[in-house]
Structure 1
């Protein structure tokens, strides 16, 4: 199996991701990249979610953190606000890992093709670790 890069921390916020990104960018002297709001996405979005961060990256050299907000009404609690993001090179690899991690776990988003051009899933394994699995379409 060939993964792209390392497991990347993914932080989830309750509507204040932009504030957190700016704070962390200043703290780590890092650059905010690829910031996209839910309202900018080609996806039905309620008006109260339009300005929330759907996805952003904060990087400096090898340092990388990914960030998003939840939809309004979704809880963010200590423990579920951090996940690990993995990027795969093939659908076979992501499918294999997905099938193993879901055993005795909880699926938060089924493995599926997405509107942003990836095969993606999000799940919590039987040990409580939350994983975001991504395989960009070639």
Structure 2
């Protein structure tokens, strides 16, 4: 990383689905792009052709991803999730639909009221890549 880049970057490990996941996320979220993808080559520790590193952005936040060999691939948990504050109800509904397809809706969509805020819609979804998202529309 260069000195002007963020020091903390979310890093997601996939089991052979990194390219598909990165392409999916950058198509679904606003203002998103793939910055770079490097692949394992013959002789590398990893599956030839799988993603060694992918750098992408979702709405200005940089992420990294890679593929891990299936026998070493970590278990995922909804204890770690990505919180996404939607700009509109339409954006919330669209993201809920596409992230939930072949995934699991853990909660919502539902309103959440606390003493300090009112969230119109909130949902927790583990998508088909086993990545958990918290979608919020305020």
Q: Please tell me whether Structure 1 or Structure 2 has the larger radius of gyration of its CA atoms.
A: 2
Bigger relative contact order, structure 1 or 2 (CA pairs below 8 A, ≥6 apart): 1
State the TM bucket, normalised to the shorter chain: 0.3 to 0.5
Normalised TM-score (structure 2): 0.46
Say which structure is richer in strand: 1
